[in-house]
């Protein structure tokens, strides 16, 4: 099971020996795979060891009725179908909680929280580690005195050290929101704004597709309370100024009379921060910056092409971060 609760089905087979190794099961990939190949009780399969190591299904010789797992193998909760995958959504799934925590501690480089320790602490909400856990609490969970001191010290050390907002976000294990993607998004918007962004806001950011945008927005909503509470306990480094400028990848059109300077001066500023300045709105345009008296035809066209429309002030905020 993955940290987002996705369950990978395993196909149990009658044991066979291939190049000296006995094979009892092979991966079933996902629910869609089992269904479309008709893999269930009594299916005949040809198994190979790919690269002579990992056994896998090479061919389905005779399909049967697909047998899709209904319950989480770890907690017994009803599994839900999401696209091709099977997902355990139970908040009480210890396996899921453990994997989320393992990911969190690993990404944030908090030492000492190995698999055995995490299993003991599986049901402790993340916020508690930063707000109320002290040495005595760890002792209460069955840790020895020295280990309790070490675990508590590791959390305190994390609090004292700074972290980039991108790494902080990546620690929550949200599907599609790894550190580099988080950084790309945070180059375009502040952490506080990202937390309340819609999938639509996110698709305006270069290299975020629609599926990823939905996944990120949903994941942020699901973790919102925890993220907001934990933000108080982390010291954030100022957002990194990307080498190529805060507006790298932006294709901007300016329209109307600018109030904050001549249009030429503002366009120069945009270029200095890495944006391409275009003369008219096309499908390639990412942002339309509107001064005074912009014609409706222009804003309509921008809307139709899903170009983000900004006021001059919005635009300046992008540059200032």
Which residues are near Zn ion by CB under 5 A? Answer: 72, 74-75, 77, 88, 90, 93
Question: Can you name the residues that pair with 12 across neighbouring β-strands?
Answer: 25
Q: Kindly give the pairing relationship between strand 276-278 and strand 251-255.
A: parallel
DSSP 125-146: -HHHHHHT--HHHHHHTT--HH
Q: Which is nearer to Zn ion, 3 or 167 (CB)?
A: 3
Q: Tell me how far apart the alpha carbons of residues 222 and 204 are, in angstroms, rounded to a whole number.
A: 22
Q: Which is nearer to Zn ion, 91 or 259 (CB)?
A: 91
Q: Tell me the torsion sign for CA atoms 157, 158, 159, 165.
A: positive
Q: How many CB atoms lie within 10 A of CB 107?
A: 18
2: nearest Cα among 100, 115, 121, 77: 100
Shortest Å, Cβ 73 to Zn ion: 8
Q: Which is nearer to Zn ion, 75 or 135 (CB)?
A: 75
Which residues, at least 6 apart from 51, have a Cβ–Cβ distance to it below 8 Å?
none
Shortest Å, Cβ 40 to Zn ion: 22
Q: Tell me the torsion sign for CA atoms 104, 109, 114, 120.
A: negative
Q: Kindly give the pairing relationship between strand 287-290 and strand 251-255.
A: parallel
Q: Which is nearer to Zn ion, 93 or 126 (CB)?
A: 93
Q: Which is nearer to Zn ion, 90 or 183 (CB)?
A: 90
Could you tell me where the DSSP H helices lie in 27-67? 31-37
Shortest Å, Cβ 117 to Zn ion: 21
Q: Which is nearer to Zn ion, 102 or 277 (CB)?
A: 102
Q: Which is nearer to Zn ion, 82 or 237 (CB)?
A: 82
Shortest Å, Cβ 11 to Zn ion: 20
Q: Tell me how far apart the alpha carbons of residues 152 and 128 are, in angstroms, rounded to a whole number.
A: 12
Q: Tell me the torsion sign for CA atoms 135, 136, 137, 139.
A: positive
């Amino acid at each position: 099971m993955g940290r987002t609760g996705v369950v990978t089905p395993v196909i149990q087979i009658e044991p066979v020996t291939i190049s000296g190794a006995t094979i009892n099961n092979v991966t079933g990939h996902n629910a869609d795979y089992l269904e479309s190949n008709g893999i269930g009780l009594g299916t005949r399969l040809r198994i190979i060891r790919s690269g002579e190591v990992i056994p896998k299904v090479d061919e389905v010789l005779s399909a049967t009725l697909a047998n899709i797992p209904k319950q989480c193998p770890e907690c017994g909760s009803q599994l839900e179908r999401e696209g091709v995958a099977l997902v355990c959504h139970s908040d009480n799934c210890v396996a899921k909680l453990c994997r989320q925590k393992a990911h969190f501690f690993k990404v944030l480089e908090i030492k000492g929280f190995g698999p055995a320790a995490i299993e003991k602490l599986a049901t402790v909400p993340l916020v508690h580690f930063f707000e109320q856990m002290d040495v005595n609490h760890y002792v209460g969970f069955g840790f020895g005195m020295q280990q309790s001191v070490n675990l508590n010290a590791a959390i305190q050390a994390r609090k004292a050290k700074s972290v980039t907002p991108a790494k902080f976000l990546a620690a929550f294990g949200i599907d599609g929101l790894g550190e580099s993607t988080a950084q790309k998004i945070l180059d375009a918007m502040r952490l506080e704004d990202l937390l309340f962004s819609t999938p639509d806001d996110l698709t305006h950011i270069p290299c975020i597709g629609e599926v990823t945008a939905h996944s990120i927005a949903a994941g942020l909503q699901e973790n919102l309370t925890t993220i907001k509470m934990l933000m108080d306990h982390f010291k954030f480094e100022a957002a990194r100024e990307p080498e190529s400028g805060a507006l790298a990848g932006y294709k901007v059109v300016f329209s109307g009379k600018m109030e904050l300077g001549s249009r030429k001066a503002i366009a120069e500023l945009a270029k200095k921060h890495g944006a391409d300045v275009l003369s008219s709105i096309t499908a390639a345009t990412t942002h339309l910056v509107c001064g005074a008296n912009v014609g409706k035809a222009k804003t309509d066209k921008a809307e139709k092409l899903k170009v983000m429309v900004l006021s001059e002030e919005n635009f300046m905020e992008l540059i200032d971060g």
